[in-house]
Amino acid sequence: MAPPRPARQVGGKRVGGAVYLHASAIDDQTRSVVERAVALADGFDWNVVKIAPGSVSLLLYEDFDTAGFPALLASLKVDLETGKATATDYRKRENPPILHRKETLLPADAPQRPRFAALTRAAEEHGLFAEPTRIGTRRQWSELLASKGLHVEGHSIVPVGAEAIEVARHKTAIPRRDLSQPMQLAIAHGVLPPGNTVFDYGCGLGDDVAALSAAGYEAFGWDPHHASDGPRRAADLVNLGFVLNVVEDRHERRETLRAAWSFARRALVVAVMVMGKADLTALRPYRDGHLTSRGTFQKYFGQQELRDFIEEALGEAPLAIGQGVFAVFRDKDLEQEVLFRRQARAIVRPVGMRPPERNRSRAAPRPGLAERIRPELETLWVAMLQRGRALDGDELPADLLGRLQAAKVSPARATSLCLSDLFEQGELATAASGRREDLLVHFAMLMFPGAPRYANLARSIQRDVRTFFGSHAAALEEARRHMFSAGKPEAISEGVEAAVAAGLGAMRDEETFRFAVPTLDRLPPAVRLRALCGGLLRGGVEGADFIDMKIGAPRLTFIQCMNASARLPVISETTRVDLGRARVTVDRPDGMVLYLKGRFLPVDAPKREEQVEFDRRLLVAGIVTPDGKGPRLAELQELMRKRRGSRSTSPAPAQAAVDGMVAGPPATKAAS
């Protein structure tokens, strides 16, 4: 099913039976009648046209880009039947007409629309348009503003006497050596499949466009400062990366998001700066964000705050694909694929191809052909492992299909070779089991309030259902049982025991299981489901580094750290989710340290043994208690300073622990 086309606004402001259009919004339907009027105007200068039955008025307003509410300077009314033109000059009048809602006169894709619409939203918020018949002239407008203690500063409405600050947005653009994180995540999660087009809305210096183009994507970008002449047209994916966080006007932020969405055929990716990852002490509070020493603005979002903002502005539930990174979909088939991929376990397995056994009693299946198309078979085998099943012809990657056709080998024949003893078939059985479990988690999540619902499944998932369950009804019934199990303490207890036995986390206390978020897709289904349900209320599990799960109650705590790879991570934010009450509470503790981190890492985590040894020395030194309680950051730093001054008298084990904390960078930034 083809995704719906992006919704487009129709330009033009209608008043009575007339329509007002900016000169840039003249289209094929209006061009002929406007040209007739211009031909009779004898070179009259204008920037707005009013088209009414039987007449056209050419209007000259103050410059739209500089005047928030432009005044009318001159007009020329042309009677289309008689050809008579009547001119009026307003330049010397003290009380000329004023134009409001000027964004409605512009083309739907005009780059100025978000800024102009934000001014309109601010005026509405202040109640300035409550009586539209009494604000049409400069005197009326000025008197209304004064009565409310307001004045217009450029494209902002501010209190009289407030400091006017000009934010240097263009200075936030930075050169990149690599593809930005949002685009890397979009590719990794399948939001940007090969062959899709990309519009980088607010492309800065254009490094993402260059990187994507070099990788074979059709990519183009626009930026109001660095690429103002760049194309602004629809694309499969629109990237709005680190744009919203530099816009100081919250209304313009919303309008910018809506404008970017209007260009997206399949999906929009939104990325912002997030709370808890930056030091704000040197920044100056301004509006709902901060000003930097360079005169730029930064708004730091919470994960749930960003999710709610996107959903309110677009009317679509976004999908978290990273910390401070969300995707919004027009193409619901693509959304299902990405949602499933996000909830499914990562499949990282060796290809496992091996030569046929040298058994003289039976002939190997066409060994010559298998060797000749060995790279194609390996590619196909990896694709089969990802699905846990044989693929239909239209599911094969396009490049692989072309290579098989060039080798004159059918997809069925290649699949048959893959299902022979060329590969370790046990890998496919393991992949199938994991895929089936992932599908159950996926369907169970669709039953949770707040999760997206679909009338039809994506074709690839329909095939999965037939292969692993036989029917959609059977899959839903089994998924329903899984969802119910996620609400039962005994099922959670059993799942947690299995997770602890597998070394995927540990008990923080008798009732709380703590695990690192990267291990989520490896946990038993009931535990996974409970964590994912909590993530739906939080705005995704992305951004959290650890999760605490109560076994006997439907409560979770998502823990976000300043630097989760540090040996002593400092907690920047905790989000408590009560699934029973659908309640979310966010807290930003001051200097709380996550101690004994090694206990909660998976047994196969890199450098886990070093972390465990570091934790042991903390215990020996008496800095932390066996249940993980210890001083806050400021107290810990003071303790370290005191112990550093008494190294000669400190017991060896205690001193070793202190040395381990203070060696190299500060403890909160040290690598594990």
Q: Decide if 96 contacts 137 (C-beta within 8 A).
A: yes
Domain count, the chain: 5
Quick check: is 253 in a domain?
yes
Q: In sequence order, what DSSP letters do the residues of 390-423 get, joined into one string?
A: PPPGGGS-HHHHHHHHHTT--HHHHHHHHTTTTB
Are 567 and 611 found together in one domain? no
192 and 281 share one domain: yes
Which of residues 400, 423, 446 is at a domain's end?
423
In a domain, 439, yes or no: no
Same domain, 302 and 372: no
| Residue 10 burial (10 A CB sphere; 0-12, 13-18, 19+) | exposed
Q: Residue 119 corresponds to which amino acid? A: L
Q: Is the pLDDT of residue 346 over 70?
A: no
Provide φ and ψ at 238, rounded to 5°.
-110, 130
Quick one: 34 and 103 in the same domain? yes
Q: What angle do CA 244, 246, 249 make, to 5 degrees?
A: 75
* 514 and 630 belong to one structural domain: no
Nearest-5° Cα angle at 113, 109 to 116: 170
Q: Does residue 178 sit in the same domain as residue 320?
A: yes
Residues 175, 145 share a domain:
no
Residues 293 and 173 in one domain: yes
Q: Tell me what pLDDT residue 523 has.
A: 94
Radius of gyration of the chain (CA): 31
Domain boundary among 96, 125, 159: 159
Residue 620 in domain: yes
| Residue 206 lies inside a defined structural domain of this protein | yes
32 & 141 share domain:
yes
Q: Tell me whether residue 482 is in a domain.
A: no
Q: What are the pLDDT digits (tens) for 593-645?
A: 999 999 999 999 999 999 999 999 999 999 999 999 999 998 998 888 887 77
Instruction: Assess whether pLDDT exceeds 80 at residue 349.
Output: no
Mean pLDDT estimate for the chain: 88
Q: Is the pLDDT of residue 9 over 50?
A: no
Whether residue 305 is found in the same domain as residue 402: no
Beta bridge partners of 156: 153
| Residue 314 within any structural domain of the chain | yes
The pLDDT tens digits of the residues spanning 215-249 come to 999 999 999 999 999 999 999 999 999 999 999 99
Query: 661 is in which domain, residue-wise?
Result: 605-669
* In a shared domain, residues 515 and 376: no
Q: What per-residue confidence (pLDDT) applies to 280?
A: 81
Of 598, 630, 661, the residue at which a domain comes to its end is: 598
Q: Are residues 512 and 371 in the same domain?
A: no
Question: Is 47 inside any structural domain?
Answer: yes
The reported pLDDT for the residue numbered 640 is: 83
Q: Rounded to an integer, what distance in angstroms lies between the CA atom of residue 273 and that of residue 289?
A: 11
CB 560 within 8 Å of CB 574: yes
- Band (pLDDT 50/70/90 cuts) for residue 356 is very low
CA distances from 597 to 547, 570, 615, 625, 628 (A): 12, 11, 7, 13, 9
Residues 6+ apart with CB under 8 A from 597: 567, 568, 569, 611, 615, 672
In this structure, what CATH number is given to the domain that contains residue 220? 3.40.50.150
Alpha carbons within 13 A on the beta-carbon side of 402 = 3
Q: Rounded to two decimals, what is the model's pTM?
A: 0.75
Using a 10 angstrom Cβ sphere, with 0-12 exposed, 13-18 middle and 19 or more buried, the burial of residue 664 is exposed
With respect to residue 153, please indicate whether it lies within any of the assigned structural domains.
Answer: yes
